[in-house]
Structure 1
Amino acid sequence: MTRKPVRRNSKTSKSTPFYWSKPFIVIVIVFILSVFLYTKRDALAYYLSFKTDRVPLETRQASLSEVIKVHNEKAFGLDVSEYQERINWDLLSDLETGNPIEFIFIRATAGSNKTDSKFHKYWGKARETNMYQGAYHYYRPNENSIDQANNYIKTVKLKKGDFPPVLDIEKLPRHQSIDSLKVGLQRWLDKVEKHYGVKPIIYSSESYYNDFLKNDFEDYPFWIANYTAFYHDIDSDWSLWQITENGKIEGIRGCVDVNVYNGTTKDLKELLMK
């Protein structure tokens, strides 16, 4: 049987230009969204990681001097470690605003066997100043808690007028549950408290504090780090607030952490070793 020829449309269809293809449009949208999220990263960090019941003045746009101005009546201090390789202790006296540096924390130990390479030198130098001083331990969740407590105890000699011992907990465990981590933290705290006769201070980020520490360790003083919020009123449960890791201080090469005590110098003395 003879087939009727198929008539073809003489008008050829035009293909979609590459630059309007679906994959290209998706790439453009993703790029624009990425740029937007990057520009809002500080605000997102606050709302996703550091959100609390308190309303911040704003996300971190203000300079350190503006933060200090809001809390001008409070006591300010630093914390240092071997990462601050050079400190001229003779020049270490004031913040950029002229507020005196009234206290300093020095990292003493980390884990079960590390001593900060600058601790003994910096501890001795701090004794020669008018600053109140404290020593902190960086806790490694995957190492034995009692070994870590003993490492701190054999390294740090505290006396009247010093800050209580400080436990710095920032990391989550890899091979144990959160409940097991809390047991280890409590063992460290109990061992150290028994040795020094005073409750230690706990340092952590605000998100870590809210998620894992606030409800189980409420009897301890807290030192909280949050660089993405600028508070008019510091949480009453916080003894100290670490407000930046990018402080510029005469006498210290590079950046340094700056902290504010949640009270006046007179109030600060109530926290110190008796």
Structure 2
Amino acid sequence: MTATKKRTPNKNPITVVNTPRKKRTPSKRKKKNSSNVFWKRLKWTVIIVLFVGIGIWFGITFKDGLKYFFSSERKEANDKSIFDFRTAEVIQRHQHKMIGFDVSHYQGIIEWDRIDSVNSQKPLEFVFIRATMGADGKDKAFELNWKGAGANHFLRGAYHYYRPNENSLIQAKNFIETVKLTEGDFPPILDIEERPKSQSMDSLRLGLQRWIDAVEKHYNAKPILYSGENYYTNHLKDWFPDHILWIANYNFFVEEIKPEWHFWQFTEKGIVSGIDGKVDLNIYNGNKSEIRKLLMK
């Protein structure tokens, strides 16, 4: 007996075409959260107001630097730099102080007779000159710079760059044999910037004291102490409290010399006629009559 196959009834194509499709339930669109829009607008408003406020504060606070930076005199300078801005601002804030500079052989051959002012704003009146480094180092330009400074009537001082890992008394001898100070010069200057590699800070301070004692005995004058602000505060201040201080701090937002600083090296990017390239600039925390009290008798 043959099995009968079930036939699937034929679908009318017209019926299929005309069969209505099932309607999709429309997806609900997310409504924009009005509170999110509000907070976004508020955020951008605050940011814009903040930037405008900073711009106004900057313009008022540093108006003298901006004035110089965009002046015709600065545009005509051969060596233009953003650092001119800060230099001009600091000098303007210290109109009643004395301005000086410091040099070594890194400045090359200096035309001392051309040096008169910085940024054509303020006369340069004193200079610190590197003489020696460590136990046997001698600055190649010291003699030339020392004579040039004296011949052009700058108040002048000589400094020794201290190397922590070399014998302190031999370093003192190196300075004494190289530098002849006379009446009207600054006392000897000790420059300490390096951390010791093979000794403790206590040993370093002992070495510095030995250098100071030997040099003070020879010149009959207490040395000036030079260092960076952080180095001096952390490692020297409590042990050498009675020295004339020459402190380096190039922080853009340090705008005034601190009362306890006698000298402030406020930039290493100064531009001075007669010197090729950048040079350190310094402020003395006083006037001409006061600075003369510091000089060798």
Q: Which residue of 2 aligns with 1:127?
A: 150
Number of residue pairs aligned between Structure 1 and Structure 2: 217
1:188-203 pair list within 5 angstroms: 188-203=211-226
Cα deviation 1:135-158 (Å, max 9, x = unaligned): 000000000000000000000000
Aligned to 1:41: none
Q: Do residues 158 (structure 1) and 176 (structure 2) align? A: no
1:247 corresponds to: 270
Q: 2:231 aligns with which of 208, 213, 217?
A: 208
Corresponding position: 1:176 with 2:176: no
- Indicate conservation of the 8 Å contact 1:249/1:256, yes or no: yes
1:146 aligns with 2:191: no
**C-alpha separation in 1, matches of 2:255 and 2:269:** 20
Cα contact 1:106–1:135 (8 A) shared by 2 = yes
Report how far residue 267 of structure 1 moved: 1.1
1:9-24 aligned at under 5 Å gives the runs none
Q: Secondary structure at the match of 2:100?
A: strand
Supply the AA of the counterpart residue of 2:86: S
In the TM superposition, what is the alpha-carbon distance from 1:179 to its structure 2 partner?
0.3
Q: 1:226 aligns with which of 244, 249, 259?
A: 249
User: C-alpha distance in 2, partners of 1:254/1:144?
Assistant: 34
Give the alignment's TM-score, normalised by structure 2: 0.71
Partner Cα distance (1:271, 1:199) in 2: 10
In the other structure, the counterpart of 2:32 is none
Q: Which has the higher contact order (CA 8 A, sep 6+)?
A: 1
Distance 2:198 2:255 in 1: 39
Question: Structure 1 unaligned runs (5+)?
Answer: 1-56
Instruction: Give the corresponding residue for 1:76.
Output: 99
CA contact (8 A) 2:187 2:222 kept: yes
Equivalent-residue separation in structure 1 for 2:174 and 2:294 (angstroms): 24
Measure how far apart 1:97 and its partner are. 3.7
Contact 1:96 1:248 in 2 (8 A): yes
Which consecutive aligned stretches of 4+ in structure 1 deviate over 3 angstroms post-superposition? 229-233
- TM-score normalized by structure 1? 0.76
Are 2:280 and 1:257 aligned?
Answer: yes
Residue 187 (1) aligns with residue 204 (2): no
Bigger proportion of residues as helix: 2
The runs of 5 or more residues in structure 2 that have no matched partner are 1-60, 63-81
Report the residue type matching 1:245 in the other structure.
E
- Identity, % of aligned pairs? 51
SS in 1 for 2:171: helix
Q: Is the 8 A contact 2:187 2:296 kept in 1?
A: yes
How far apart in 2 are the matches of 1:141 and 1:179? Answer: 11
Kindly provide the amino acid, as one letter, of the partner of residue 101 in structure 1: L
After superposition, the C-alpha distances for 1:110-152 in whole angstroms (9 at most, x for unaligned) are 0000110000111111110121000000000000000000000
Check whether the contact 2:188–2:215 (CA below 8 A) recurs between aligned residues: yes
Within the candidate set 73, 93, 117, 1:94 is matched to 117
Aligned twin of 1:48:
none
SS at 2:143 equivalent: helix
Does residue 271 of the first structure (1) align with residue 294 of the second (2)?
Answer: yes
